Structure 1
């Protein structure tokens, strides 16, 4: 719902056509046959689009630097010695992923920051801080788990040296991938005054409500488990069914158990999945000896996640006995609920109102770089609608109209942030939770 009579975005001089052209240009890097992208972190395609974004930033007068974990910052300094408001997202994707996830936020950030820079030049805004457009390394975590890697190192959640030695399935380290794409940077000192990110919702709440802007007030609690099912390798033709200890059959039961966990909770209060599944030896004439899988449990309420975890462990124990296998589970990548500061949420709402757009305050079920940044600096997370709510696939889609609406609201938000409107606000989380 739009109220154009209250729209004052023209003062920022945004060029919607150029923005859309730039955004759609990024799809050539890692393009897939069905209009998606495959641009995993540290790949050649990822390196190419990052080189392109640096060229665009330099052409607009930004100073571009890369830190030790491969995060790229395009800096514009108006107030010497003042901290920076960061605005951005990520350019890497899932395998056969969508072209909007992350990339939209980086391109929108560059255009918003450029428009605000012009407003500063024209003395329409008196900045209290500087600005930096950021492309975080490996938000997706598909090639190098876990996800939200670059921003987590930046805020001190992950150890740099340990993270650099993380390997992909082929044994390539993060450090080697960064070196290959010429993004193994150096330590930088970047005082931060706030963070803003715009992203597609990756769900259907905004689309169902007909509302163009979401303002995130919290993240869901996330619990992942590394599960290993161990049986015994044997011949598929010569081993009688009663003598088999088939790890794959048992693991298949685990997958169903994970999905059926949600039946023990109120509808739409919890989500569960198994997204990674590796079979050994993966031979057509061998009964599998081992299966490794990753279980993902998320809910708004931490207690629901812990209860689901307990139920799953109990059921897997009974399954192991019944199928004569062993099942081991290790906690992995636990992320507590993060609440965004009330004043930061209110600022996102004000930016939407100022642009004549309706907004809705909502939780994010997915993790984002903003959740990590929110631990150390007041952060604002905006959403735009996703058609059919699909994401992490080639069918992912958001209309040009919604992309431009989000850009206008983001630009308004950034102008408020660099003017000091969140100067006294404390971050929403801590590094010790």
Structure 2
């Protein structure tokens, strides 16, 4: 998709040379050089040198725009603009880390857009056209993706009190490096507590095709899906691939293949598009070309709009795992992990975002997020607003991920309108969202 073919025009969105659509696009596309891959994506897993480099750029750029930058204990960066000493902050942002061989839009767009939206609001305050009740802080959350260090959404979960800081710092990657060591290596082991949040806002690519299919430029998120993971171990017996007869094998990998297929096929027990499942990670032991595998560890991901659908899928899978174990002469162990209930965003925040879109002459659609985001964690402690912009072909977490310049600029404009309202205190009487059963 070529930017020039988008139906959402960027004309009329230039404000000043420092705070223009072109300046935003220049900054955004500049970030793509950090961890760039040959396929047009990025590889910036949390705490790697590439991630450290883009965070250094973010700090320098924020300082150029008049923000003061400091990191907290889990390495999240806060670029603050304090107009009212002692007042709480409206936080706005996303994350700069990526999946391996990931896309250049996921997370990064939300951080760069947040920086430019906050700079525009700062210019309004300086000009006297906006009277703030709160300060503003642009956030780059640490380790949203969770590809190197599990679980995902780490920085915002620590900030929201959902994850213990020391536990997070002790988390190790597959090579044995801890989060604390990775932060030290990139110079991001901070010690300044994050600001108290009066509200939170985030904009993100949709990572789906609903907006693209409908031709609507802005999505307003009203809830998240219920999600949970299962840590599954398939345990067989190691033996020689050449000397062990087929009938004598207890092959953990062939049994694990049946587990993977069961995870995919369980969706057939539910209405179309009501549940998604996947296995995205496999570790095989001993992983030798002449050894029958003795153990396979894998992660099952279950997501649905209704908690009871996830629970039912889990029960069906456990039954199937027992059948695989009996048929194959192996042991299949399963442990619940990373259960995240449905989160409903405040209705007043949804209304506020829809108004901001209308003010820009843009149509919006209210929809759920199937993926997890930092806004879901922050919604537990502060009234939160989450926006989406279209994703071409719905592709994400791969190098082909794409959103047009025009759609990004439209989203930036709506985010700026949302941020103006939040800084002015429009959600001050609104409680944070909470878990709910769908």
Please give the TM-score of this superposition, normalised by the length of structure 1.
0.97
Aligned-partner Cα distance in 1 for 2:388–2:38? 27
The match for 2:3 is: none
- Given that 1:12 and 1:118 are in contact with CA atoms closer than 8 Å, whether structure 2 keeps it comes out as no
The match for 2:23 is: 18
CA deviations on 1:226-245 (whole Å, 9 max, x unpaired) are: 00000000000000000000
The match for 1:64 is: 69
Shift in alpha-carbon separation, 1:189–1:202, aligned structure 2, 3 A: closer
State yes or no: 1:395 paired with 2:400.
Answer: yes
- In the TM superposition, what is the alpha-carbon distance from 1:189 to its structure 2 partner? 5.3
The match for 2:285 is: 280
Find the residue that maps to 2:32 and give its secondary structure: helix
State yes or no: 1:201 paired with 2:206.
Answer: yes
- In the TM superposition, what is the alpha-carbon distance from 1:80 to its structure 2 partner? 1.3
Counterpart of 1:258 (choices 263, 275, 294) is: 263
State yes or no: 1:371 paired with 2:380.
Answer: no
Aligned-partner Cα distance in 1 for 2:346–2:65? 32
Aligned-partner Cα distance in 2 for 1:188–1:169? 29
Find the residue that maps to 1:28 and give its secondary structure: coil
Counterpart of 1:155 (choices 160, 167, 180) is: 160
Aligned-partner Cα distance in 2 for 1:263–1:316? 17
Shift in alpha-carbon separation, 1:407–1:89, aligned structure 2, 3 A: same
Aligned-partner Cα distance in 1 for 2:392–2:8? 22
Counterpart of 1:302 (choices 303, 307, 316) is: 307
Shift in alpha-carbon separation, 1:8–1:397, aligned structure 2, 3 A: closer
Aligned-partner Cα distance in 2 for 1:127–1:12? 21
- Given that 2:217 and 2:390 are in contact with CA atoms closer than 8 Å, whether structure 1 keeps it comes out as yes
Aligned-partner Cα distance in 2 for 1:383–1:410? 10
CA RMSD in angstroms comes to 1.6
- In the TM superposition, what is the alpha-carbon distance from 1:333 to its structure 2 partner? 0.4
Find the residue that maps to 2:94 and give its secondary structure: strand
CA deviations on 1:266-323 (whole Å, 9 max, x unpaired) are: 0000000000001000000000000000000000000000000000000100110010
Find the residue that maps to 1:168 and give its secondary structure: coil
Aligned-partner Cα distance in 1 for 2:250–2:63? 60
Counterpart of 2:357 (choices 348, 352, 356) is: 352
Q: Which runs of 4+ in 1 moved over 3 A?
A: 1-4, 7-14
- Given that 1:12 and 1:119 are in contact with CA atoms closer than 8 Å, whether structure 2 keeps it comes out as no
- In the TM superposition, what is the alpha-carbon distance from 1:191 to its structure 2 partner? 1.5
Please give the TM-score of this superposition, normalised by the length of structure 2.
0.96
Gaps spanning 5+ residues in structure 1: where?
none
State yes or no: 1:49 paired with 2:54.
Answer: yes
Aligned-partner Cα distance in 1 for 2:304–2:16? 39
Aligned-partner Cα distance in 1 for 2:121–2:329? 64
- In the TM superposition, what is the alpha-carbon distance from 1:10 to its structure 2 partner? 6.5
- In the TM superposition, what is the alpha-carbon distance from 1:143 to its structure 2 partner? 0.3
Counterpart of 1:221 (choices 215, 223, 226) is: 226
- Given that 1:2 and 1:357 are in contact with CA atoms closer than 8 Å, whether structure 2 keeps it comes out as no
The match for 1:170 is: 175
The match for 1:191 is: 196
The match for 1:312 is: 317
- Given that 1:149 and 1:158 are in contact with CA atoms closer than 8 Å, whether structure 2 keeps it comes out as yes
- In the TM superposition, what is the alpha-carbon distance from 1:187 to its structure 2 partner? 4.0
The match for 1:407 is: 412
Aligned-partner Cα distance in 2 for 1:9–1:64? 27
